[in-house]
Amino acid sequence: MLGKLSVKLFSLLTVIFLVSVTVLSGCGSSGEGNKTASAPGTPSAPSGTTPKEEKKDAPPASKKLTVYAALNEDDIVQIQKKFKEDTGIDIEYLRLSGAGEASTRIQAEKASPKADILVGGSVEFYDPLASQGLLEKYSSPNAKDLDPQFNDPKGFWQGWYMGVLGIVLNKERFQKELAPKGVKEPKTWDDLLDPNYKGQFITSNPATAGGGYIFIADQLFRLGDDKGWDYLKKLNDNVHHYTPAAGDGINLTATGEFIAGMSWAHDIVKSAKQGYPIQVIVPEQTAFEIGGVGIVKGGANTENAKKFVDWLLTKPVGEMNTKLSNRYSVRKDVAPPEGMIKIEDVKLVKYDRDKAAQMKADVVKKFTEMTAGKK
């Protein structure tokens, strides 16, 4: 009896032992049975690595933008500061005398572009750059509600401000030197042909300054080709010299070197607010510019350039620029600049912008030949 119990007890202990060994060996396995089989042809990751470790980190986004600016120094400085505040992107800028000089530089750097953005100056200077393949095509979503005249239908430039041409008059010199002769303050472009202005009038070169070219085109559109060129030839007799930038004439008239000049009305008002003895006169049949911005093709920071265009078209930036520069904004929800004539009260010439762009090279060539010998 006892012997049979011993045999049964021994058998039971043997079974328990074998079960324990099986469980323990399963717990101590390498876990290979829990791994998911790799798909055929797909190599398994090396031991000790993870998919994240296999991927290389993406390079950090650029925080830089190189800008060629055909703007006043204080304008581009404020833009630089505000853009950094709003986006964290640093602007490195080169201020040029005008859109013409900026265009020439971009053309010269075609093989290795140094700038990302061209900003400022009339869009007449942007069309030739676009036709040469030097501008990147981009249509900002912020432009969809603007008047179509401010958007390039081909998408290579964007208008963001407006300016009208005016006469800058040094009030002190005029009252002292010309008023006693019975000369009236100029109200029209034709008044500037008065011989009393000989050597006392200054304007800008159409080859280098957007304002200078628009002034020439203005005369051709309001008078026709023959009478327009006759006017420009007569005016040339009164012009002391042609400056590289439109704003130069304001500075030289404001400091009393000349009695009158031609420039942008908003810049004249801006200088008058600083205390200079000058006033602005906006003649009938004057012309206006659409100030542009365009992305340089092949620049190192194209994505940041697109952000800049978008930013430039926002309402806060439009209000900042209007307050700072006295320019009209292209946005309808931005009030006109303080101290400027309302745009609806300006009597504009019938200005054909497409024709102005197409004839620019021929006009500049003819003007340069006509004024040869005068700086």
84 lies in the same domain as 193: no
- Following CA atoms 293, 321, 339, 281 in sequence, which dihedral angle do they give, to the nearest 10 degrees? -20
Regarding whether 295 and 258 lie in a shared domain, the answer is: no
**Structure pTM?**
0.71
Give the containing element (helix H, strand E) for 119. strand 117-122
37 lies in some domain: no
Q: 132 and 225: one domain? A: no
Residues 172 and 275 in one domain: yes
Side chain identity at residue 253, one-letter code: T
What SS3 state is found at 64?
strand
Q: How many residues does this entry show for the chain?
A: 375
Q: Are the C-beta atoms of residues 306 and 144 closer than 8 Å to each other?
A: no
For residue 348, which phi and psi values (nearest 5 degrees)?
Answer: -90, 150
Question: Number of folded domains in the chain?
Answer: 2
User: For every one of its 375 residues, what pLDDT tens digit does the chain have, with 9 covering 90 and above?
Assistant: 434 434 343 444 444 444 443 433 444 443 333 333 333 333 343 334 444 444 456 567 889 999 999 998 999 999 999 999 999 999 999 999 888 899 999 999 999 999 999 999 989 889 999 999 999 999 999 999 899 999 999 999 999 999 999 999 999 999 999 999 999 999 999 999 999 999 999 999 999 888 999 999 999 999 999 999 999 999 999 999 999 988 899 999 999 999 999 999 999 998 999 999 999 999 999 999 999 999 999 999 999 999 999 999 999 999 999 999 999 999 989 998 888 888 778 899 999 988 998 999 999 999 999 999 776
Give a yes or no: residue 51 inside a domain.
no
Instruction: Give Cα 138 to chain centroid, integer Å.
Output: 12
Token pair of 274, please? 């600083």
Are residues 220 and 301 located together in one domain of the fold? no
What's the rounded Cα separation, in Å, for the pair 224 and 247? 27
* Domain-located, residue 345: no
The continuous run of DSSP H or E covering 281 comes out as: strand 278-281
243 within a domain of the structure (yes/no): yes
The answer on 102 and 157 residing in a single domain is: yes
Residue type, 258: F
Residues 157 and 293 occupy one common structural domain = yes
Task: Judge if 117 and 71 occupy the same domain.
Answer: yes
159/303 same-domain check: yes
For tokens 């009252």, the residue is 175
36 falls within a domain: no
Sign of CA dihedral 66, 70, 73, 79: negative
Please give the structure tokens belonging to residue 84: 């950094």
Residue 109: phi and psi, rounded to 5, are -100, 15
Residue 305 sits in the same domain as residue 241: no
For position 274, which CATH number holds? 3.40.190.10
Indicate if 197 and 239 belong to the same structural domain.
yes
Whole-angstrom Cα distance, residue 262 to residue 181? 22
Give yes or no: residues 130 and 217 share one domain. Answer: no
Domain that holds residue 251: 164-288+365-370
Domain-located, residue 293: yes
Q: Please indicate, yes or no, if residue 268 is contained in any of the structural domains.
A: yes
